[in-house]
A and B are shown apart, each in its own frame.
Chain A
Amino acid sequence: MLARTALIAALLIVLIVVPPFLGIGWQNALTNMLIASLFAMAFNLLIGQAGLLSFGHAAFFGVGAFATLHLMGAIEDRVVSFPTPLLPLAGAAAGFVIGAFAGYFATMRSGVYFALVTLAIAELLHSLAPHWDGLFGGEAGLSSMRMPWAGLTFGSPLQVYYLALGWAVLSILLLWAYTRTPFGRLTLALRDNEQRVRFIGYNAHTTKVIIFSISAMFSGIAGALLAISNETANYSLFSTHVSAQVVLHTFVGGSTVFLGPAVGASIFTLFAFYISEVTRTWLLYQGLIFVLVMLYAPQGIGGLVQTHIQHWSKISWPELGRAYALAAVVAACFAAAVVFLVESFAIIFSPEYAAARGRLDGTWPPFKLFGVEWEVFSPVTWMIPIGLLAVGLLLLPSARRMLRETWDQILERAEAARTAKSEIQLAGAMER
């Protein structure tokens, strides 16, 4: 507990101290990271705590952004005066109200129906927004400027970053506090056994609507921060792409661990910023990572870390280290082969390459990848990924066996320790 608090405090200090020394690009990327983290945390209130899987959270993210832009516009036109740092309150209010409305419909059913209704609500807004000029600014969307307030200009990305940091930290703290309240406990109970909750005398539907609205409210804050950062928004905020991203972030990070979604969102947004200039195929890798996590580590990164911490004293690190080293070699082989193939295909099937072929009368010019020129029909080119795949496949069985055996031993030791402990307790009870 103490170690965890210290770790979070250290992380917070890094987030406060480091950004002034970074370039504008990184400052923007960090702001986006905070926004994505907060959005994922808000989303996880539903799936992680209440067990409701929403595929349309873009709706509340977008609503928060548009509400904030309306308020910013009103401030700009001097219709109202409102402190700029408190702008996300507009997003929170809009998210809450729309969330309550949408949640009323969505939570009438659970499970798959719930997922579909949320998806449809987001799509409803997505198809409505381009035609509704007054509210969503039509296809072009809305734009507005951040106004200075109390000596703060909010002109630089750094100031926006600190604003986002403040709101993200405050919101995540509130979300954490929420889990500690009786209502937070009720949320968990709703996930585990809804029938029993109803039996005790709670109104399950009303409870779910409230949880939904709270989740939508924090999503609205995240959307508001995006609006403040970008100073513009259009109907594409409602697209399934946005809803999909938050699902990916949350589950890769791990929905069962409180800060898991933030971890997933941070890794993905920072990695995307770092890599997306290099490759257009980032989204494909993202999808592959997601499916692999679903197949082999369903608890996500957070779940993996948690398992290791849980069994810390039972792990024999040299053994596990060897197993992980081998697994890492296998993973590296597969990853390198897949990246090589995907990037090659991305070049060969690109319009630019087709144009180059057109200029050369249909012959296949060599393509440049990783600073080397490759011939399309040369066996040498394709020997590399095939060789890597072969090595990976060759080592895969032993890597899997080592991993399984090591973890079986760890779990066995943990089990043995637990039974030994309960036997001692039992013996003590007998003596008394």
Chain B
Amino acid sequence: MEFLIISTLNGVTYGLLLFMVSAGLTLIFGMMGVLNFAHASFYMLGAYIAYTVTTTINFWLGLLIAPILVGLLGIFVERNLLRRVHAYGHAHELLLTFGLAFIFEELIKLFYGDFPVNYSMPDYLRFPAFTIFGTDYPFYRVFIGLVAVGMFVTLYLLLSRTRAGLVVRAAERLPTMAESLGHNVPLVFMGVFGTGAAFAGLAGAVAGAFFPTNPNMAIELGVIVFVVVVVGGLGSLEGSLVASLLIGLFSSFAVGLDWSLAGLLSWVGLGDWARSVGGLFTLTLSSISGTVPFLLMLIVLLVRPAGLMGERN
């Protein structure tokens, strides 16, 4: 029971963190058809900017400045770089953002070194939110979840209840029609790209204080986020929320379970044989928890290629 509740809580908070990053990615994809490889780099840059501000001024200002700067960077990337290669097709846009991700990682290594930096939350946030089964549950995990929920609500209200959101949805569905009706579609694209980048930056600033902040964080999270958007269906915001939670829960449960194929086979009396073979059969789920999201993705692709909530293309 204890394992169940703690794992669920951890899984939900991790899933919400994944959602903060994947929301922007999936929005940008749905709208512009660009898979932004540098999106997870925005997450990393957010963490590093927040770290810099935290060490020089204070933590809360870092949470404010990081998304703004990262959002501006996103606007710059869209306006000055992506638009230039737009004529060469989506593959080129993908490759360009891939190159940018490469450069961002190396720049971070240049200024901050190869090793994790000491970015952590202020001491007054370091208290247990509640005590469950004798263990304290850190408040900061709850805080990460709250920021993500706040972001989702803001995003949802912006898209569904405001005029700007209406234009954004129109530009996503039928860009040329929206343009002929007098809306500045390139500006909308730029805004969405900047907002997506800013959300990733905020996620980095918030999560970097809890999880390690190092130059590998972009690629490590980036790959999982790609899995999330594929599982959820590229371009679907709800899909990415569901997939984020799903993958968050799967990963957090996998860490604590020492199931193996041998254990499974012992139900049908083949356990000893499997253990004698070794190899794949005796790998425990906990040791390969990093693999779980990818297996999940392959299964989803087999069963439902468009993703959980994606449209068939």
Contacts and interface: CB of A to CB of B under 8 A. Distances in A.
B90 A111 contact: yes
A333 interface: no
B193 to A, nearest CB: 16
Contacts of A108: 301-302, 305
B113 A281 contact: no
A160 interface: no
Contacts of B109: 284
B184 interface: no
A291 interface: yes
Given A53-B94, A112-B94, A105 B288 contact: no
Contact of B279 (A117, A134, A290, A298): A134
Contact of A349 (B94, B112, B227): B112
B92 A349 contact: no
Contacts of B112: 349
A283 B102 contact: yes
**Chain A interface SS verdict (over half):** helix
B287 A113 contact: no
Contacts, number: 121
Interface residues of B, number: 47
A115 B99 contact: no
Given A112-B35, A298-B92, A131 B288 contact: yes
B110 A244 contact: no
Given A116-B226, A116-B230, A291-B96, A127 B294 contact: yes
Contacts of B230: 113, 116-117, 120
Interface stretch (B65-73, B80-88, B168-176): B80-88
Contacts of A115: 35, 94
Interface of B: 29, 35, 81, 84-85, 88, 90-92, 94-96, 98-100, 102-103, 106-107, 109-113, 219, 223, 226-227, 229-230, 234, 278-280, 283, 287-288, 290-291, 293-295, 297-298, 301-302, 305
Interface of A: 47, 51, 53, 55, 105, 108-109, 111-113, 115-117, 119-121, 123-124, 127-128, 131-132, 134-135, 240, 244, 247-248, 251, 281, 283-284, 286-288, 290-291, 294-295, 298, 342, 345-346, 349-351
Given A112-B35, A121-B294, A291-B99, 18 more contacts: A51-B91, A108-B301, A109-B301, A112-B234, A113-B301, A116-B227, A117-B230, A119-B223, A120-B223, A120-B293, A123-B294, A132-B279, A132-B283, A247-B98, A248-B99, A248-B102, A283-B106, A287-B100
